[in-house]
Structure 1
């Protein structure tokens, strides 16, 4: 392992890094909020596949308004074709949103059998391993980044911190072969999610804006989930007879926009690994706030939950420390 890569982020002061960390936390906090909203929508409609599609489709509609009805949106969407012609963006980058659809499907298929806590640990482990690997192979816009001791330590601390934070919910979990096989699905979802953020970062760098990447994410994800829902209808029917009237059941899509657009922007600034770690910290903080303010049935908040959440922030600082010190030296 080498101490530094020529493609590392530019040196920044600690104050700038604190600002970037705050953006990571806000982007990450959107995910538990989206999960809670989508869970309520799924319960009301009685169809988790339809709820997932509806959430994505609402996000897609919002992105259409942003991309085509605002001056900034039209200006950045006009850069898509030139970026593809120049080779800066490959056509398959536009399919990154399918990963979001796959991630939602892993939630639907596994949480009921392995539980939220195990799901969270599996996803975070996948995101962290993916962040290390995708940075190493240069999938993100910053090119290849060596796995330095501090980056590896920060990644390991993140996984340990998340396991500690959800440990109160792991008590009594059964360990069977089927259980282990099911854990592979959320792990792969987290691993691919880190790759999705890397490709979104490449697009954002090419377009000089996260708007087109976010638009194509919701287009691809909506298309995939629509196909899955239609297959489900052909198999067993069950079209929802009515939609709930509670307005906040429909904000899952906009919350997803915050996460995807924020991640696409952050990857261009700090790389795949640190962006993933910072947003993981935001996810745990958002979950903790929700469990304290509007607790869901079965939610558990203990000292381990709070300290594990705090430890994720320490992990981000550890992984970012070499870049912070370079900034101070200039």
Structure 2
């Protein structure tokens, strides 16, 4: 458990920055009256940040040629990320940040259970059981409470 603590904290921090990113992107989108521009700008700045990071860690860019062997379907991940960021920018002002992200988390958990259960995308198999279903039920109950109040 101790070795996983760093990863658990990292996951919590990663989750915590998403509502902050949404709020900042909403402000950017409002400034130009176009939420999709905010998503584009977010990815542009993020890409530049990652490029700088790769230079800092002295990434071997010759390894880039290895992506030729990857299935073309994996490139959809970038489109999924863009869809997610743009959707959150549109939804947060309409639904509120708490409801938007509780729905996002509920959606993530449902798909995560399916991915785990079938070991899709090369992930390890973790069978769906009643405890996992109970966790989803609690998430949905939380979404309903957040929406009501």
Report the TM-score, using the length of structure 1 for normalisation.
0.39
The equivalent of 1:101 in structure 2 is 82
Number of residues of Structure 1 aligned to a counterpart in Structure 2: 149
Q: Paired residue for 1:28?
A: 15
CA contact (8 A) 1:38 1:55 kept: yes
Matches within 5 A, 1:165-314: 166-167=146-147, 170-171=148-149
2:65 pairs with 1:81: yes
Q: Is the 8 A contact 1:124 1:159 kept in 2?
A: no
Give the whole-Å Cα distance in 2 for the aligned partners of 1:156 and 1:52: 31
Deviation at 1:35, TM superposition (A): 1.2
- Once the 2 structures are TM-superposed, how far is the Cα of residue 24 of structure 1 from its aligned partner? 1.0
| 1:65 and 2:52 correspond | yes
Unaligned runs of 5+ in 2: none
More helix by share: 2
Query: Could you say what secondary structure the match of 2:128 adopts?
Result: coil
TM-score by length of 2: 0.78
Q: What is the Cα deviation at residue 151 of structure 1?
A: 2.9
Q: In the aligned structure 2, how far is the partner of 1:94 from the partner of 1:18?
A: 31
Cα pair distance change 1:24/1:117, threshold 3 Å: closer
Q: Distance in 1 between matches of 2:45 and 2:82?
A: 14
Inter-CA distance 36–115: structure 2 relative to 1 (3 Å threshold): closer
Does residue 37 of structure 1 match 2:21? Answer: no
Closer/same/farther in 2, CA of residues 111 and 23 from structure 1, 3 Å limit:
closer
Match of 2:135 in 1: 154
* Larger RCO of the pair (alpha carbons < 8 Å, separation 6+): 1
Corresponding position: 1:132 with 2:113: yes
